[in-house]
Amino acid sequence: MDIIDFHTHYVRKEDINPIWLNYLESINPQFYARMDDFSKQPELFKDYLKAQGVKYAVVLPECAPATTGFVPTEEVIEYCRGQEMLIPFTSLNPNVHPDPAAQIQSQVKEGGVKGLKLHPSYQFFYPNEPRLYPLYAKAQELVIPVVFHIGSSIFKGTRLKYCDPIYLDDVAVDFPELRIIMAHSGRGFWYDDCFFLSRLHRNVYMDITGLPPQNLLSYFPEMEKNREKILFGSDWPTIPTDIGKNIEAVKALPLSDRTLEAILYRNAEKILFG
Ligand SMILES: [Zn+2]
């Protein structure tokens, strides 16, 4: 079975704040020891992905200087350039970028960016604020999906209120063609809300990034019914295990092959490649 990992991070020691760097060292010492090599050599990451059974990976920058750090989109574009299996997204921040709609246009047209990541609780905005609307309109026009971090985080400085999935309801209604992905599916206390929203709105999806696979059916007992709206992501390298082990744990769940294929590949394929 082919796999798309919809959520990996590009990290460079110089770009991320000590809070993330130290956590990375504790949770994934193997990666940490080779972090400089990984950040300089996309080949190394590609070989790793292949060994884990991953065909394509979304690679995320991170513009959150007040919390986790500032990994510029330009670095991710450069890293993924010419690497078919690495799919660059952009990270824009309404408190840093004065005109994110103009920026995404050039990143898509010139940089080959395939999606947008927003991080309300690290970047401090409510997803339904009017100042974000020109960015959503541009993403919708460019047919670019938007991933929102929706859920708790262990990093100090996080302001959880911005992650309440209810604010995405407005966005889903006002931009009916914009594909909205709730990364982490409300981790902590919004599992039911995220599941409900993704059932309610044709354009809203949830991803299982950072959730223990063995617990998924207790969080979402009706996963099977929502098979077209769930995506797999690993959150590599900030994970305590290999991506392949994560994939195996998902495959071990009592779900139909049709559902597993949709979650591990087909839904992401539709969003990324049409
Ligand atoms: Zn992440």
Helix (H) or strand (E) segment spanning residue 116: strand 116-118
How many distinct helices (H) and strands (E) make up the chain?
14, 11
35 and 11 in contact (C-beta within 8 Å)? yes
**CA 186 / ligand 1 centre spacing (Å):** 13
β-bridge mates for residue 90, sequence order: 116
57 and 4 in contact (C-beta within 8 Å)? yes
**CA 174 / ligand 1 centre spacing (Å):** 26
**CA 238 / ligand 1 centre spacing (Å):** 8
Answer whether residue 136 shows pLDDT above 90.
yes
Q: Could you give the CA distance from residue 184 to residue 231 in angstroms, rounded to a whole number?
A: 10
Provide mean pLDDT across the span 174-190: 97
Percentage with pLDDT > 70 across the chain: 100
**CA 66 / ligand 1 centre spacing (Å):** 16
What is the pLDDT at residue 156? 86
* Ion ligand 1: residues, CB < 5 A: 235
**pTM of the entire structure?**
0.97
Answer whether residue 10 shows pLDDT above 90.
yes
**CA 236 / ligand 1 centre spacing (Å):** 8
**CA 270 / ligand 1 centre spacing (Å):** 21
**CA 226 / ligand 1 centre spacing (Å):** 22
β-bridge mates for residue 228, sequence order: none
Provide mean pLDDT across the span 37-44: 98
**CA 139 / ligand 1 centre spacing (Å):** 20
What is the pLDDT at residue 154? 85
**CA 20 / ligand 1 centre spacing (Å):** 11
Answer whether residue 178 shows pLDDT above 90.
yes
What is the pLDDT at residue 242? 97
Answer whether residue 95 shows pLDDT above 90.
yes
242 and 3 in contact (C-beta within 8 Å)? no
**CA 264 / ligand 1 centre spacing (Å):** 17
**CA 234 / ligand 1 centre spacing (Å):** 8
Q: How confident is the model at residue 261 (pLDDT cuts 50, 70, 90)?
A: very high
261 Cα distance to chain centroid: 19
